Structure 1
Amino acid sequence: MNLKKFSGWSPQQIISALIVGGATLMLFLTLQPELIFANNTPTGGDMGAHVYGPAFLRDFMLPHFRLNGWSNDWYAGFPMYRFYMLIPALLVLVVDLIAPYGIALKMIAVIGILTLPVCTWLFGKFSRLLFPIPEILALASVVFLYDESFTIYGGNIASTMAGEFSFSIALSLAVLTFGLFIRAMNEDRGRMITACVLALSALSHGIVLLFVFGGVALIAILWKALNTGRQVLISASLIIGTSILLSSFWVVPFLTSHAFMTDMKYEPRPSGTADSFWQMFFPLPLVLEYFHHTVRSRRVRRMYFASQSCRHLDGGLLHRTRDRCFCKSWWSANHRHVMEPTTVAVSLFASLHVDDDRAI
């Protein structure tokens, strides 16, 4: 290893590399790499149901230059990749070119987990947050990944190991999108890469599609509120419009075909004796008060962090399902009482340390 390349690094850069690299390595070891690279069939939770799809895409649809189609292998036939996300399956097939199919599927299944800390750190850097806020955000993403208070809503390790790996990939891309979008608004560059990453996030999971487009729209609105020039609207319109066009081949049929979707019969929240509106929304008044303060002080990045805190409260982080563990970690289901205010506190603490004029 050539150590000269690192001799010019500042202490901040070294700390950043150690935190982000160390977090990624810890996650990788938690996921048991010896099992990831074992040539077998992935299973556990809903994971076994995902083995079929990419192989069918490879063997029957791609040879006919199609990205969706029809299978007669189950029920009386069912649509393939009309109502389920395509990008993760294509990633599996790319890795399948150089690795056995089972290993390829497992590698893509964990890629969203392994990339969330670095994407969160990049979000902080692109947003011009001062050191060590990007590093704190990266560590906060690790805490979220180890959270076991929910096991199927998506994003954390437990949900991903149960088969929600498309969600984790989309989540990493969504966080990166927010950072790229803020950089595009600040520096008026990188609009095409931002549009492409936004489209990839939307094409990776239908639920993430909703809040990634909502998030970039929110950033654009806040930026416009503090900037009277037309350039903000032009840049935002170009990015969002391009991403819609890039993803419309799958998103438009998906959104317009609800009548043919299966009703999952999810019950409304709150429900049961262990659930209440108080548990779901108790930090909300504090966040709303902070948002009111940031609007009056006209600090756009503080406004964004406050609004994102509001969205986190309604985005699934406070949900609780059965207490079932899929992996060993430091966090038990009972820690959700710590996790809920911590999520808000990290966002608000970060917003207080934003430098509006200086990029690190």
Structure 2
Amino acid sequence: MGVPMAGRLVVAGHKVAVWNRTPRDVPGAEAAPSPAAAVAGADVVITMLSDPDAVSEVVRAALPGLRPGSLLVEMSTIGPDAVRRLRGLLPESVGLVDAPVLGSVGPAAEGTLVVLAGGRREDLDRVSDVLRVFGTVREAGGPGSGAAAKLAVMSALVTAQVGLAETLAYADDLGVGRTALLDVLGATPLAGLSERLRPVVESGPFETRYALGLAAKDLRLATEGPGRRQTVTAAARDLLSGAVAAGLAGHDLTAVVPFAASRAAGTPASKEVRAVDPPSVPATNGYYSHAVRFGDLLFVSGQVALGEDGKVDGEGDMTRQSEVVMENLGRILADQGSSFDRILHIRTFLTDMDRLHEYGAVRSRFVTGEPPASTTVEVERLFRPGLMIEVEVVAAL
């Protein structure tokens, strides 16, 4: 989002300096070597980052370069609590406007975002021309109100999309069919949202415009903290958290449609034997499945530290191999609506029992509740040279 937004400022005739945690070029803008260098001498400083921690980290790094009388415009989705903390970081001489946006990369490039601005009257007036470069400005009120309005809007929009994703899976289960349901919804107030999901139903998820991981973060911010009792939004948050754990954080939010379908297809009421091969885990060689589910049980094949290229990840490093194995297990469990605290039995094969403590230290980071039934044995070798550990589990759904 920040790259096309910076480009809009350049086109509008502003002198722009940029800094990004992952270096990116913005034609016409000066690439600064650090946050402090980027803000040095600037009248207006804009932050567009992924979450509250990123904003805090970058602003702290920029503080030495901020000049008295400058104005910080925070445009990320971080919530009003984080905006208050940000105000505490800044010198009194630096103004603050919170102005998160509605829209994705396309509207950012076109200058058609909706900007939800909050701040003191004098600060809003001072930055109004800059904000209009990005699109339509809606003033939400005083400091923190823009950030609060953004969370409220996302609670409605994201929760509705997650709910519709589950409803599409429900329609399939009833024999209605997802396309038929979308056709009917096209004549209801949900027409716009249902049409947005139609390409996913017909062709699969498309390029990332609004990352699923960011949507999960937005709902987490909207539901955490005292007094925030959004039960439906909290349920949507939990489903998205499962999708993130399954490795879908970088996918577009519409990837929640096939994720919801995969969960529904394996309902505990089903007594069908079904193979499971989540796309977030390196593919098998075709001679086995990563897991098989039956009823409310999930049997997960032995996982090893092989990357997408088929090479050993962390050769000679028991800690690294153990981490890869546990991460793969976590993705498979999450893909089927289970988790580490639902493991019934875990079986571990080691090529060197003297290094059990290294594996144990990693395992304790993932398996944190009541310990499951467990078996650990030493073997002479595993199926690929360089592999030191293999772990399989049986879990409840």
> Counting helix residues as a fraction of each chain, which structure ranks higher?
1
User: Higher relative CO (CA 8 A, sep ≥ 6), structure 1 or 2?
Assistant: 1
| TMscore range, shorter length | under 0.3
> Counting strand residues as a fraction of each chain, which structure ranks higher?
2
Whichever of the two has the greater Rg, that structure is 2
TM-score (norm 1): 0.25
